[in-house]
Amino acid sequence: MAGRQTTTAEPGANVRPLAPVRRFDVFAEYKRLEAEQRGATADEARGYGIWVAKVVAGRRFGRSAAPPAVGHRPGGEEAEKGRPAGPDWGPHELNGEPQTAATFEREIVRRMGKPFYERVFAPAVRQAFESGERYEQVRDAIRAAWKP
C-alpha cells in the first residue's frame, strides 16, 4: 500500500477532503467494513464503526468510561429465547448519545466531504481491506496524499 499513488486517471483523483483525514477515520471505516463482512446491515455497520473508533480512541487517551468494545453480547435475552447470541451491532451509546449511521455520516462523511468519501476514501479503504491489508499496515500510508 505504501507504494500506491493516486493518478489523475483514477476516478475522483482531483477531489480533495474538506478536512485532514485522520487515523480515526480510517479505523472507523475498517470497523464498518468488518461489521458488514460479519453480517451487519449498512446502517448497523456505520453505527458500529463510529462507536468502536470512539471507544478505542477514548481508551487510548484515557477519556472513555464505555464498556469494553467486544462486539458480542454474552448471551442474555436472545440466548434465553433459543437464538444464539451473536454480534451486537447496536446502536451503542457514548455519553448518552446513540452512535448510529447518522453519527457516522456527520462525523466522518460530512467532515471530509461526501464527494471525497464516496469517490476516493471509501473505495481506497475498501480495496485495502478486501486485499487483506490490516489497518495497522495502511493507516498512515493510505492517507498520506490526502490533503485539504
Residues 69-93 have pLDDT tens digits of: 444 443 334 334 443 455 677 779 9
134 lies in a domain?
Answer: yes
Q: Is the pLDDT of residue 38 over 50?
A: yes
Top pLDDT among 9 and 50 is at 50
Q: In whole numbers, what is the pLDDT of the chain averaged over residues? A: 82
* Confidence grade of residue 30 (pLDDT, cut at 50, 70, 90): very high
Buried b (16+ CB within 10 A) or exposed e, 42-51: ebbbbbbbbb
Cα distances from 81 to residues 73, 76, 104, 111, 113, in angstroms, run 14, 9, 32, 42, 44
- Write out the three cell numbers for 76: 442474555
97 lies in a domain?
Answer: yes
Q: Where are the alpha helices (DSSP H) in 7-113?
A: 23-37, 42-60, 76-80, 101-104, 110-112
Domain count, the chain: 1
Residue 84, C-beta contacts closer than 8 angstroms, at least 6 positions apart: 78
Domain span at residue 27 reads: 23-143
15 lies in a domain?
Answer: no
Residues in the chain: 148
31 lies in a domain?
Answer: yes
Cα distances from 65 to residues 47, 55, 61, 62, 96, in angstroms, run 18, 8, 11, 9, 12
Residue 14: the pLDDT is 85
* Segment (H or E) for 129: helix 122-130
16 lies in a domain?
Answer: no
In the chain, % of residues over pLDDT 90: 66
Q: Is the pLDDT of residue 34 over 70?
A: yes
- The Cα 112–Cα 27 span in angstroms is 14
33 lies in a domain?
Answer: yes
Q: Is the pLDDT of residue 112 over 90?
A: yes
In the chain, % of residues over pLDDT 70: 73
* Confidence grade of residue 12 (pLDDT, cut at 50, 70, 90): low
5 lies in a domain?
Answer: no
148 lies in a domain?
Answer: no
